Amino acid sequence: MAAAATGEAGVRYEKDGQIARVTIDRPQVLNALNRAAHDAMSRAWDRIRDDPDVRVAILTGAGNRAFCAGADMKDAGEASGAAYLANALPLGAGGLSLRRDLLKPVIAAVNGLALGGGFELALACDLVVAAAHAEFGFPEPRVGRLAMDGGIVMLASQVPLKVAMGVLLTGRRISAAAAQAAGIVNEVVPGSELPAAADRWASEIIACAPLSVEATKQLALAARDLPSWAGARWFPRLALDTLTSEDADEGVRAFREKRAPRWRGR
């Protein structure tokens, strides 16, 4: 049964069994984020990281117009110029785009516009399910800014360079279908089916062994972020911890006994 939702600064958190749901709830500004909302989201990811009962998180926006339209440019506290750099977000957009300590998978359920920081949030998630009417883009060059919370690097590393440059250098938006074709989005569904689609992906993750899922994410991120030689130092230990766990034995037993495994996360 889902726990009561809690919220602060326009960010709602709800624990639904083994799924944590984080919702940007600022529809009056297309779910754009001010500093207080960024900080509230960062605390939500800390909470998910530290809760042993949570296996996967789903991030979405309130309403059906926007996932997140980026920075709340009309907020009185939004800095510019040198102050913008001085107040840079230490963990990136929403405390997620530059974070490396969250090994539990995060699914973006993109229910509308994902622009600027909103696009960075989607790129930072491990899986992306998008409503058919969703759009993605980095409008920063059109207002003299940069997608500095990982957006430029993440997009250039996740899609062919020419595709990335077409988005980054023009500030244009791309459709959900185009984002799926580029490899940014895993699945496109009608807007009414988005919550169910995200839950389906979450259920498939939960069906897997927790240690295997977290180790797989850690290795995948390392492969993207680290030079090829670096992983050799810690890959054997990580593999040993996972493959000698109780869950590793349970997975084999369940397969042989033709039943669903009973994961214990150890």
The separation between CA 249 and the C-alpha centre of its own chain, rounded to angstroms, equals: 31
Q: 120 catalytic, yes or no?
A: yes
Judge contact between 263 and 210, C-beta under 8 A: yes
How many CA within 13 A on the CB side of residue 206?
A: 18
In the set 8, 14, 78, 120, the catalytic residue is 120
Q: 204 catalytic, yes or no?
A: no
Find the largest Cα–Cα distance for the chain: 63
Nearest to 44 by CA among 119, 111, 121, 128: 121
How far is it, in rounded angstroms, from Cα 45 to Cα 75?
Answer: 24
In the set 135, 140, 187, 246, the catalytic residue is 140
Tokens of 260: 């669903």
What is the SS3 assignment for 141-183?
HHHCCCCCCCHHHHHHHHCCHHHHHHHHCCCCEEEHHHHHHHC
Q: Give me the active site residues, please.
A: 120, 140
